[in-house]
Amino acid sequence: MEETTAKVLIIGSGPAGYTAGIYASRANLNPVIYEGEQPGGQLTQTTEIENFPGYPNGVQGPEMMNDLRDQAERFGSRIIPRIITKVDFSKRPFRCEDERGDVIEANTVIICTGASAKYLGLPDEEKYRGLGVSACATCDGFFYRKKRVAVVGGGDTACEEALYLSTLASKVFLIVRKPYLRASKAMQKKVFERENIQVLFECNTLGLFGEDGVEGGHFVYRKGEPDQQEFDLPIDGFFLAIGHRPNTEIFREWLDIDSEGYINVQAPSTRTNVEGVFAAGDCADPSYRQAISAAGTGCRAAIDAERFLMNHDEH
C-alpha cells in the first residue's frame, strides 16, 4: 500500500474535474486528479458538441475532453487513471483510498464524480449510442431539426425534453409507460397543446432498428394485457428522459445528499456540509447538467478550495 499527500484532491474528471485542475494548478496547489471509472466523463461518449464556447465549428466529445485534460496537465495537475473507492471525511487531512488500496491524504477535496443517465437496459441503446440514442435533448437536439424523434419518460424532465425538441423536430413522440403523465399540470398542459407532440400512453420500447443509425423503433402497447399490440415507428432520434443517477454513493456516510442522490452545496459557493470538501459538476446539479455549467462550477470549486487553504494558512 502506497500513501501520498495532496493539498487538493479532485475526485472525478470531465469538464468540472479538469477545469478544477486547471485553476488549482495555476494557484500552485499541485492538485491530484483521480479520473474515475470514465475518464473525461459522459462527454467521451458524445459525438459532436456544438454548444461549448470556443469551438465555432463544433468538436468531438473525446477530443474536447482530451484538450481539457492536456490543459490541466500542462499547468501541473497530476492525473491518475484510477477510481477512489472509499473516503473518510471525519477529520482533516481527509483520507481517500483507491481500488488498489493506495491511500491519498488531502487537505481539501473537490468531488466531480458526475451523474449517469438512466437507460432502459436495451442492447440497442448501446448499439446506437451516439448514432441516434441520446440522454440530453439540449446537447443533441440540434441534429434532429425537421426530423422525427421519440422521448421516453412521463415526468417533468421528459416533458421539458419533448417541448424543447418540438421546436426543432418535425414530430415528437412521447413514450409513456403509464396511462398518465407524472409531470406537473402546467407542464402537461403545454405538452398537450403542442401540435407536433404526440403522447403514446401505456407504451414500452422493445428495441430500435436502422443500418447506420436509428431509423425506427419497435414498441408495444399495453404490454402483457389481452389487447397487447406491437407496432413500429419511423424515428431518427431516441431520447431517454427517465432521470439521472448521481455518482455519489461513497460519500453518503459523510455528506448532505438529497433524496435523488445529488450533493447539496451552500450556493453560490461549492462548499458541502464538511469543511474543506467541495462539489462541482453534475453530481451537485440536478437542474442544468451541461458541460459549460459543470466547467464553471469546477472553476468555482478550485477558487473555494484555494480560499479555504489560505484562511487555514495552508496555501
Residues taking part in catalysis: 136, 139-140
Please state, in angstroms and rounded to a whole number, the distance separating the CA atoms of residues 151 and 161.
Answer: 7
Distances from the Cα of 306 to the Cα of 10, 87, 269, angstroms: 13, 21, 13
Please state, in angstroms and rounded to a whole number, the distance separating the CA atoms of residues 255 and 135.
Answer: 27
* Best CA proximity match to 73, nearest among 37, 21, 110: 21
Question: Are 86 and 97 a contacting pair, CB within 8 Å?
Answer: yes
* 257-260 contacts at long range (C-beta below 8 A, 24 or more positions apart): 258/286, 260/286
The conformation of residue 313, written as its DSSP 8-state character, comes to T
Q: What H or E segment, with its residue span, contains residue 231?
A: strand 229-234
* Best CA proximity match to 156, nearest among 133, 169, 132, 174: 174
Question: Are 19 and 302 a contacting pair, CB within 8 Å?
Answer: yes
